[in-house]
């Protein structure tokens, strides 16, 4: 028996060696155009979907915390099938709902409580609190686990096994921008662009599809 275990361990090591020899680093920069003057920067996500077969999706567990009447992180990208838990770390009650299809409502819950939701469909899901209109989060659900967040200058890095990929840049203010790339033994670079020209900031609706009461916008509990 010990001998079999030893052999199994050896084969795992060999497999890892093969994968790392075939892996490469994709770096690049996302350029923003059309930003309105005075508009703050927003998070930029870059993800790579494999085009030549093979599943690259490993669902995982994530958290978006409710703290100081805000969702943190405000933007989260996850592989399809992942579970997101929403703990309430404020001393007051919050709600979590989305009108993005399929809509859901986790109800109102107290300080210290947490509720979860499985994201089984790809797309961008807007998450809000029905009490506090300033609370907003975007969940980007993608068919890959190769996900990176660009830094403030737009630079990103993804470590990818060799193959053909569709690389997409995403932000809440732009249409996604995609480009194909073949990743081989050498490192590759790619430049992507997000256009904010058509972005308009519109107040979102509450969970009933109506405007929030005016009092909700005042800084009260
Ligand atoms: Cu709230």
Predicted TM-score (pTM) of the model is 0.87
Q: What spacing in Å lies between the alpha carbon of 63 and ligand 1's midpoint?
A: 16
Tell me the pLDDT of the chain (221 aa) as tens digits: 444 444 444 444 444 434 444 678 999 999 999 999 888 899 999 999 999 987 789 999 999 999 999 999 999 999 999 999 999 999 999 999 999 999 999 999 999 999 999 999 999 999 999 999 999 999 999 999 999 999 999 999 999 998 999 999 999 999 999 999 999 878 889 999 999 999 988 899 999 999 999 888 876 55
State which residues form the domain around 172: 23-56+146-200
Q: What spacing in Å lies between the alpha carbon of 127 and ligand 1's midpoint?
A: 11
Residue 155 CA, distance from chain mean position:
17
DSSP string, 139-171: EEEES-S-EEE--TTSEEEEEEESEEEEEEEE-
Domain identity same for 67 and 79: yes
User: Residue 147's pLDDT is what?
Assistant: 98
Q: By the 8 A CB rule, do 166 and 189 touch?
A: no
Q: What spacing in Å lies between the alpha carbon of 153 and ligand 1's midpoint?
A: 32
* Number of separate domains in the chain: 2
Instruction: Look at residue 34 and tell me if it is in a domain.
Output: yes
Domain identity same for 128 and 110: yes
Q: By the 8 A CB rule, do 56 and 49 touch?
A: yes
Domain identity same for 126 and 136: yes
Q: What spacing in Å lies between the alpha carbon of 135 and ligand 1's midpoint?
A: 6
Q: What spacing in Å lies between the alpha carbon of 61 and ligand 1's midpoint?
A: 22
Domain identity same for 50 and 151: yes
Domain identity same for 90 and 193: no
Domain identity same for 41 and 118: no
């Amino acid at each position: 028996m010990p001998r079999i275990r030893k052999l199994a361990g050896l084969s795992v090591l060999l497999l890892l060696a093969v994968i790392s020899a075939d892996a490469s680093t994709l770096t690049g920069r996302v350029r923003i155009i059309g930003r309105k003057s005075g508009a703050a920067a927003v998070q930029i996500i870059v993800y790579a979907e494999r085009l030549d077969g093979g599943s690259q999706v490993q669902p995982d567990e994530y958290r978006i915390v409710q703290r100081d009447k805000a969702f943190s992180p405000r933007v989260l990208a996850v592989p399809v099938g992942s579970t997101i838990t929403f703990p309430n770390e404020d001393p007051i009650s919050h709600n979590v709902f989305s009108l993005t299809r399929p809509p859901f409502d986790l109800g109102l819950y107290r300080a210290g409580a947490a509720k979860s939701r499985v994201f089984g469909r790809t797309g961008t899901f807007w998450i809000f609190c029905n009490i506090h209109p300033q609370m907003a989060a975007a969940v980007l659900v993608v068919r890959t686990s190769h996900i990176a967040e660009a830094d403030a200058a737009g630079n990103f890095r993804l470590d990818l096994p060799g193959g053909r990929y569709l690389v997409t840049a995403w932000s809440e203010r732009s249409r996604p921008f995609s480009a194909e790339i073949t990743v081989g033994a050498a490192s590759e670079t790619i430049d992507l662009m997000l256009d904010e020209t058509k972005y308009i900031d519109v107040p979102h609706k509450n969970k009933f599809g109506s405007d929030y009461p005016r009092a909700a916008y005042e800084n009260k509990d």
